[in-house]
Amino acid sequence: MKPIQIIECPRDAMQGIKKWIPTADKINYLQQLLKVGFHTLDCGSFVSPKAIPQMADTAKVIEGLDLGETSTKISVIVANLRGAEEACTFSKVDYLGFPFSISENFQMRNTHKTIATSFEVLEQIHDHAISNNKKLIVYLSMGFGNPYGDPWSPEIVEEWVDRLSKLNLAVISLSDTIGSATPEAIGAVFSKLISRYPDIVFGAHFHTLYDAWYDKVNAAFIAGCTRFDGAIKGHGGCPMAKDELVGNMPTEKLISYFLAQKRTTGIHPLHFEIAYNQSHKIFI
């Protein structure tokens, strides 16, 4: 059985917080997260500080991380080629994450570009990542439905995945940006994609109310998904989605779920407990 990949997303948890989190506090928190055993740490973004002020110090944060005793990979979000070029100057960065939506309305809201233009940017970023020994993660938002009135169906998702598959991507992470996905849609989409594209790692990036997490995780896992994004205590959410944030998938719930399933995650319980307790100082 494949090990379960748990990706911790402090970037997603922090980015919507208006009160400035000091750079040193971010580094200390991330340093503890690096001890936990997560597959990947989504730790920052190279985007406009006007759009996401909390991530303006991502370069300093990455510079301050010590990766000498961790196997955890480092991931950052980029929204354009300039951001990708900056991210690629850091040897510590393994993955570039690009938010790509099959919703025209949400793509404009998130990156101020049409889907067609965004796909061209995605291709440019992919080429630049490959030439700099980085891998690209595409976050396919509205992967399980569309609350903005745009056409949606599993077939539309598959059409876009088919286009993306021709780029030989490392990971496509299907995103439920505002927490509206149903277990039925989750199961249908993952079942079809995982069987048709065995060379692509499909991830689940769920937003959810804290007490509504189980059915989503269970549906994805039963359908064959083995990669899950989370944030400790479910903090955060997409600030571009709605005025009120729907939280991230609580990491502690992912850990407990896969412990019950007797699946390997690589998580070190003691170091996770320390990180969990330390999160109280970050997310006041």
Q: What is the pLDDT of residues 129-169, one digit of tens each?
A: 999 999 999 999 888 887 777 788 889 899 999 999 999 99
Q: Give the side-chain half-sphere CA count within 13 A for 13.
A: 26
* Integer Cα distance of 108 and 106 in angstroms: 5
CATH topology of domain 5-282: TIM Barrel (3.20.20)
CB 258 within 8 A of CB 236: no
Encoding tokens for residue 240? Answer: 């571009």
CA–CA gap between residue 128 and residue 133 (Å, rounded)? 9
CB 173 within 8 A of CB 203: yes
Token output for 168? 């030989």
Separation CA 5–CA 201 (nearest Å) = 10
- Supply the Cα-derived Rg of the chain in whole angstroms: 17
| pLDDT tens-digit map of 59-90 | 999 999 999 999 999 999 999 999 999 999 99
Task: Show me where the domains of the chain are located.
Answer: 5-282
Q: Is the CB of residue 190 less than 8 Å from the CB of residue 221?
A: no
Distance of alpha carbon 45 from alpha carbon 15, whole angstroms: 9
How far is it, in rounded angstroms, from Cα 178 to Cα 176? Answer: 6
The percent of residues in the chain predicted with pLDDT above 70, rounded, is: 96
**Span 250-257, mean pLDDT?**
97
Residue 183: is it exposed, middle or buried by C-beta count within 10 angstroms (0-12/13-18/19+)? middle
Given pLDDT bands bounded at 50, 70 and 90, which one contains residue 241?
A: very low
